[in-house]
């Protein structure tokens, strides 16, 4: 309760409404606009499911928002990865109980109960774990299961009184930080220690998950792991790289794009860009993989240069990854791809603020992590150095004395809820500065002065 009291004035309408409801400070159903905020924060294919999830969260807190005519996609599990299937099943059970519907069928109960094991949070996902407990609460024969599950959840309560939505994001942080450390020129023995750890947590299917507690691999972690291992030592880690690339190809969609989780699930722009960046390291790929992925990206972009919402609150996250994907794929001359690049450049040019920084969205204040994303684009080939200099100056002003970076939360999970892992801001800032540094030759004196004996000025090469 102390944690919720401290965080109920976050400025985020949905978060504030949930905190106030949990504290018993809302005497009527939550306002519709709090529910409507999810529609512009998640991809279209997830909108119906996420609206049902938010309804279920308020229902769990005793403030059911009211009945809706649900889109059938809200509870369709036929094309969902395992995490989403369990979450949807729990949500349907919670909402069904409120609506006076019959108990979940035996198969649904078996699925929910199968996630419960004393001391273990299934797939490391505490939100799903707690949603399942709410779905099973008060059902005949489930009392002991719910009690044990609650005890397991409480093992993860933090010192501040709050609960995380996952047990950890260690693997995602490791691949991201590893790539950043490599870009910044960290000592190779340190980088190999990181690489050896990643090899030990590679999944049986060849991919990587956000945590070694999970078994469902994802495109994001897999792609960055491949990039890092390839940049560090493609020969030493060739087997892990090959298996990772195979895992990516296995989930490729018929539309040429790549999903976050599992074959047959919807492709996403950010994940497709990540996969292109990884697969560009491979010499032998099935015909058409890179070209169709780039066309998918070009078709996903709107006229303003943005892409559909992904796993970041910042629109610049997908932009920098697409920008790099085009560069790595080596096909910027294709007209749709060239037009996509030009729209990205135009958006970034227009988005820089007077302080040199960039914001999460149009109209939001500058922040370090969005500025990092933008700087990667600016350092990659923007013709004038001034924007990159301004962005770098802004970033350096937000680095604390201990080297950490002052930045708001950026990643979202489950979408649309933001979560804060501070090391990610450090990693992306380091990655951006590494990209910039690779474009700069240090100032140096000439070996010999002019013949008249006068001193020659230091030479400089702009980004």
Contacts for 150 with CB less than 8 Å, ≥ 6 apart? 133
Q: Which one is catalytic: 15, 220, 367, 426?
A: 220
Q: State pTM to two decimals.
A: 0.92
Beta bridge partners of 405: 399
Is residue 220 among the annotated active site residues? Answer: yes
Counting Cα atoms < 13 Å in the Cβ hemisphere of 172 gives 22
Interatomic CA distance for residues 308 and 315, integer angstroms? 9
The structural domains of the chain, ordered by start, are 2-154 (no CATH), 170-440 (1.50.10.20)
When computed from its CA atoms, the radius of gyration of the chain, rounded to whole angstroms, is: 24
CA separation for the pair 201, 281 (Å, rounded): 21
Count, residues in the chain = 463
φ/ψ (deg, to 5) at 25: -105, 10
How confident is the prediction along the chain (463 residues), in pLDDT tens digits per residue?
A: 999 998 887 667 778 888 888 998 765 566 667 677 777 789 999 999 998 999 999 999 988 777 778 888 999 998 899 999 999 999 999 999 988 887 889 999 999 999 999 999 999 999 999 999 999 998 999 999 999 999 999 999 999 999 999 999 999 999 999 999 999 999 999 999 999 999 999 999 999 999 999 999 999 999 999 999 999 999 999 999 999 999 999 999 999 999 999 999 999 999 999 999 999 999 999 999 999 999 999 999 999 999 999 999 999 999 999 999 999 887 667 899 999 999 999 999 999 999 999 999 999 999 999 999 999 999 987 778 999 999 999 999 999 999 999 999 999 999 988 889 999 999 999 999 999 999 887 665 544 444 444 332 222 333 3
């Amino acid at each position: 309760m102390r944690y919720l009291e401290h965080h109920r004035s976050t400025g985020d309408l949905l978060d504030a409404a949930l905190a106030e409801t949990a504290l018993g400070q809302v005497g009527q159903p939550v306002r519709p606009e709090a529910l409507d905020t999810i529609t512009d924060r998640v991809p279209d294919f997830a909108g119906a499911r996420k609206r049902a999830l938010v309804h279920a969260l308020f229902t769990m807190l005793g403030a059911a928002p009211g009945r809706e005519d649900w889109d059938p996609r809200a509870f369709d599990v036929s094309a969902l990865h395992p995490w989403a299937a369990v979450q949807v099943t729990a949500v349907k059970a919670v909402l069904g109980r409120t609506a006076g519907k019959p108990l979940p069928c035996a198969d649904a109960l078996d699925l929910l109960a199968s996630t419960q094991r004393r001391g273990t949070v299934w797939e490391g996902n505490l939100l799903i774990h707690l949603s399942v407990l709410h779905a099973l609460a008060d059902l005949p024969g489930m009392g002991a299961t719910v009690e044990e599950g609650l005890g397991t959840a409480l093992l993860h309560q933090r010192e501040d009184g709050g609960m995380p939505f996952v047990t950890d994001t260690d693997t995602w942080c490791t691949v991201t930080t590893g790539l950043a450390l490599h870009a910044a020129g960290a000592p190779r023995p340190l980088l190999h220690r990181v690489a050896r750890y990643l090899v030990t947590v590679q999944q049986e299917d060849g991919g990587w998950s956000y945590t070694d507690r999970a078994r469902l691999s994802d495109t994001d972690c897999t792609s960055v792991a491949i990039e890092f291992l390839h940049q560090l030592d493609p020969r030493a880690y060739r087997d892990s790289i090959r298996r990772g690339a195979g895992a990516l190809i296995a989930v490729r969609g018929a539309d040429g794009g790549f999903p976050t989780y599992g074959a047959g699930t919807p492709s996403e722009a950010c994940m497709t860009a990540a996969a292109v960046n990884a697969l560009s390291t491979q010499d032998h790929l099935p015909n058409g993989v890179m070209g169709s992925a780039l066309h998918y990206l070009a078709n996903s972009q709107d006229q303003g240069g943005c892409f559909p919402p992904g796993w970041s609150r910042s629109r610049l996250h997908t932009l920098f990854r697409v920008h790099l994907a085009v560069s790595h794929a080596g096909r910027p001359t294709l007209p749709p791809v060239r037009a996509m690049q030009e729209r990205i450049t135009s958006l970034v040019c227009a988005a820089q603020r007077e302080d040199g920084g960039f914001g999460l969205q149009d109209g939001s204040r500058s922040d370090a992590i969005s500025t990092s994303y933008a700087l990667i684009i600016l350092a990659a080939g923007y013709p004038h150095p001034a924007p990159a200099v301004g962005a770098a100056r802004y970033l350096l002003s937000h680095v604390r004395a201990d080297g950490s970076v002052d930045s708001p939360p950026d990643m979202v999970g489950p979408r649309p809820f933001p979560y804060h892992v501070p090391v990610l801001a450090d990693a992306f800032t380091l990655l951006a500065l590494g990209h910039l540094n690779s474009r700069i030759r240090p100032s140096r004196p000439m070996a010999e002065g002019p013949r008249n004996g006068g001193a020659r000025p230091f030479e400089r090469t702009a980004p």
